[in-house]
Amino acid sequence: MKISDVKELLDAEVLCGEENLGHDVFSACGCDMMSDVLAFAKDQAVLLTGLVNPQVVRTAEMMDMVCIVFVRSKRPSEAILKLAEASGIVVMATRVRMYEACGRLYINGLRGDKLKEHV
Amino acid sequence: MEGFISTVSGAISSKNMSEPLVFHFEVDGSDFTSAGTASVTVKKNLRQLGLPSEVIRKLSIAMYEGEINMVIHAEGGTADVIVTEEYIDIILKDQGPGIPDVDLAMQEGYSTATAQIHSLGFGAGMGLPNMKRYSDEMKIDTVLGVGTTVSMRIYIR
């Protein structure tokens, strides 16, 4: 799906990176613990999280992720958005909670770690 | 973070890799929000050099975890990255408390980080294991009360 589909499915508000909504994404992960994202994520393009601090953007950048979704109405600061903009990362915010946000994306074809699907 | 990069611009413009590229950063230990700035800078520079994306990713994750560790546990330190044609070395040096039991610290899930660090999304006990996972070689020199130096090497080919 495209990042614009993520926005629609989650009824999300795009906070920065609007110009990149046309990018294709094939997998996502939902996590509040950035250490675990760094340990276990692989080729996931979208990060859903309820954690709001600049390290979320840096973690996404390190993992080559292209989109961050802040769930359950969390709002990032201007400083966080500036960091994301500098890295070309789309940031959006949704009222939907983590479990449901992941579920909506998953049933519409945005899967998790490809390796784990076969376990 | 008060970082500076030496010799980078000339090497990028000339694309001459016969001389190693050297990055040097002072990692500010007083501000968690700025932790990782050095890793982001290195990643952006290495992308411009056209190194394989998998190499860049491994290096930047390993270095980022190391930077976070230095800020959480050691009030900052220095980070040096040396890029040669065959490999990239990352040397992270701090004057922190040292690691009492390196084998224990290397276990996934073991952490001495505070609840405040957990609330920031770190301190899950994955830092050192991740650094080992993403580097090809890793060495830890630590002396209690003196400091720790973590050296990591990632091969380009």
How far is B127 from chain A, CA to nearest CA, in Å? 7
pLDDT at A117: 42
**φ and ψ at B85, to 5 degrees?**
-70, -30
Better pLDDT: A119 or B42: B42
pLDDT in tens, B54-111: 999 999 999 999 999 999 999 999 999 999 999 999 999 999 999 999 999 999 999 9
Of A48-52, A63-67, B28-32, B134-138, the poorest mean pLDDT is in: B28-32
3 state DSSP class of B6: strand
pLDDT in tens, A17-50: 999 999 999 999 999 999 899 988 778 899 999 9
| Alpha carbons A29 and A68: distance in angstroms, whole number | 10
Write out the two tokens for A8. 């629609």
pLDDT in tens, A74-101: 999 999 999 999 999 999 999 999 999 9
pLDDT at B1: 44
Number of continuous H segments (helices) and E segments (strands) in chain A: 6, 5
pLDDT at A72: 96
pLDDT at B10: 37
pLDDT in tens, B5-42: 444 433 444 455 578 999 999 999 988 889 999 999 99
- Does B60 lie at the interface with A, CB-CB under 8 angstroms? yes
Of residues A34, A62, A64, nearest to B121 (C-beta): A34
Q: How far is CA B41 from CA A1, A12, B13, B60, B95, in A?
A: 30, 30, 17, 9, 23
- Helix H or strand E segment including A101: helix A98-107
pLDDT at A41: 79
| Alpha carbons A34 and B124: distance in angstroms, whole number | 9
- Has the ipTM of the complex gone over 0.90? no
Of residues A53, A64, A87, nearest to B121 (C-beta): A53
Are residues A35 and B40, on separate chains, in Cβ contact within 8 Å?
Answer: no
Chain CA centroid to CA A6, Å:
9
Long-range contacts of B17-21 (CB under 8 A, 24+ apart): B17/B49, B17/B83, B17/B84, B17/B85, B18/B85, B20/B82, B20/B83, B20/B84, B21/B45, B21/B49, B21/B81, B21/B82, B21/B83
CATH class of this structure's domain A3-113 = alpha beta
Please give the residue of chain A at the shortest CA–CA distance from B130. A39
Please give the residue of chain B at the shortest CA–CA distance from A55. B33
pLDDT in tens, B146-155: 999 999 999 9
| Alpha carbons A12 and B41: distance in angstroms, whole number | 30
pLDDT at A113: 67
How far is A119 from chain B, CA to nearest CA, in Å? 21
